[in-house]
Amino acid sequence: MDILTIKQRFGIIGNSSGLDRAIDIARQVAPTDITVLISGESGVGKESFPQIIHQLSARKHGPYIAVNCGAIPEGTIDSELFGHEKGSFTGALEARKGYFEVANGGTIFLDEVADLPLSTQVRLLRVLETGEFIKVGSSKMLKTDVRIVAASNIDIPNAIEEGKFRQDLYYRLNTVPIYVPPLRERKEDIILLFRKFAVDFAEKYRMPALDPDDDAKRILMDYRWMGNVRQLKNLVEQISIIEQNREITGPILRKYLPESANRDLPVIYNNHNSKGEFSEREIMYKVLFDMRKDINELKKLIVDIAGPDVLSSASHPAVSSFDQLYREYDQPQTESRQAVVHQPHDNSEEETFAHSEVLEESLSLQQKEMDMIKRALEKHLGKRRNAAKELGISERTLYRKIKEYNIKS
């Protein structure tokens, strides 16, 4: 069966190379019993691939069971997967078969497999290695013949590093990996999907289909679609019901798109939590603040030793870029500091230098700074407090510079 036929049979829309690659791997691995791990973001349509694998395999006449591991409480997951005996726990009024016993001879799809508790992962590993399992509350070993296809929308290697997922289980599941690309990597498929969903909802609600204009198409293509195909489908249904005008323009479309993700640009995610950890924005601000402080200290050092004439050079383009980046993270603090830094004085060239921050040139002055520190230490017989005073910097900064340059004092 070729890729086009598979798309038509399973209702898959799209012509991107990444999507075709995923379908082709599923088609090739289907006749075998190899375990498959499907990865991809939430909403990309991972649930279609285990069905492709099952229907194109010799197990197609056997049972197919899809299990959402993240939706089952931790206390009952073992019972759901492996079954239990009567009286094995409170509420177990009768014996029950688990999914692995029911799916014998068929395929079981474990969606969100990374949400499994570690104790359940041990049981699953045994099934993968030997096909054996034990019901909850039983001592009898049972055998099962199932094809396991797993899926996850999180980075399992990271979960392994955090101790939340077993490495040996990951290697067992990941015999053949299938990556389903997100919608933002399938830009050529976005308009196709929009039109398909528009026709479907037009038939469902008995109304004309939506027709996006060129501006709306451009917005659809540029949007990041963090919810992927699921988000696009929900958007089309929402617009189909609410809008009376069937021609969708850019301004109409923008009303239904979250502004925070309106463009396909990198953003900084602010993740405050109850444990008081620093967000990425706060860490970036701290780095910029420390960099600005070091540059100011170096500037003062150059002025004290080389004299004000060294300040006659014009600001480098990198300077304004640094200032712009710094103000973006700390606009209020930057404005208050500039009010102090830009006090009027006679030397206009020095004011220009004070307004900027020497970012690129400071790198070329590293050797000169090392020499100055060594000379100051030699002059004051290794006494860091006196040397720091001579250099016009704090003793703490001098200590950091000595350590950074590995200067023997």
Tell me which residue has tokens 């383009």: 317
- The confidence score (pLDDT) of residue 122 equals 96
User: Which of the residue ranges 43-52, 152-161, 299-308, 319-328 would you say has the lowest mean pLDDT?
Assistant: 319-328
For residues 77 and 112, is the Cβ–Cβ distance under 8 A? no
On average, the pLDDT of the chain sits at 82
275-288 confidence digits (pLDDT tens): 444 455 556 656 66
Question: Which residues sit opposite 136 in a β-bridge?
Answer: 84
For residues 184 and 264, is the Cβ–Cβ distance under 8 A? yes
Range from 83-92, 94-103, 345-354, 367-376 that averages highest in pLDDT: 94-103
As a whole number of angstroms, the distance between CA 322 and CA 392 comes to 24
- The confidence score (pLDDT) of residue 345 equals 45
3-class DSSP assignment, residue 225: coil
- The confidence score (pLDDT) of residue 209 equals 95
User: Which of the two residues, 72 and 283, has the higher pLDDT score?
Assistant: 72
In this model, does residue 156 exceed pLDDT 70? yes
326-360 confidence digits (pLDDT tens): 555 545 444 444 444 444 444 444 444 444 444 44
3-class DSSP assignment, residue 210: coil
Tell me which residue has tokens 């500037």: 299
Q: What percent of the chain has pLDDT over 70?
A: 75
For residues 360 and 318, is the Cβ–Cβ distance under 8 A? yes
Taken in order of first residue, the domains within the chain and their CATH numbers are 3-181 (3.40.50.300), 184-261 (1.10.8.60)
- The confidence score (pLDDT) of residue 216 equals 96
108-122 confidence digits (pLDDT tens): 999 999 999 999 999
Query: What is the DSSP code (8-state) at residue 313?
Result: S
- The confidence score (pLDDT) of residue 4 equals 95
Residues 86-101, mean pLDDT to the nearest whole number: 90
192-229 confidence digits (pLDDT tens): 999 999 999 999 999 999 999 999 999 999 999 999 99
In this model, does residue 395 exceed pLDDT 90? no
Question: Is residue 375 within a helix (H) or strand (E), and if so which, with residue range?
Answer: helix 366-379
**How far, CA to CA in Å, does 221 sit from each of 119, 225, 238, 371?**
44, 9, 19, 56
Strands (E), 168-268: 176-179, 211-212, 247-248
Q: How many CB atoms neighbour CB 309 within 10 A?
A: 8
- The confidence score (pLDDT) of residue 377 equals 86
For 371, residues 6+ apart whose C-beta sits below 8 A from its C-beta are: none
- The confidence score (pLDDT) of residue 347 equals 47
User: Which of the residue ranges 58-67, 215-224, 379-388 would you say has the lowest mean pLDDT?
Assistant: 379-388
Residues 366-382, mean pLDDT to the nearest whole number: 83
In this model, does residue 270 exceed pLDDT 60? no
Q: What percent of the chain has pLDDT over 90?
A: 60
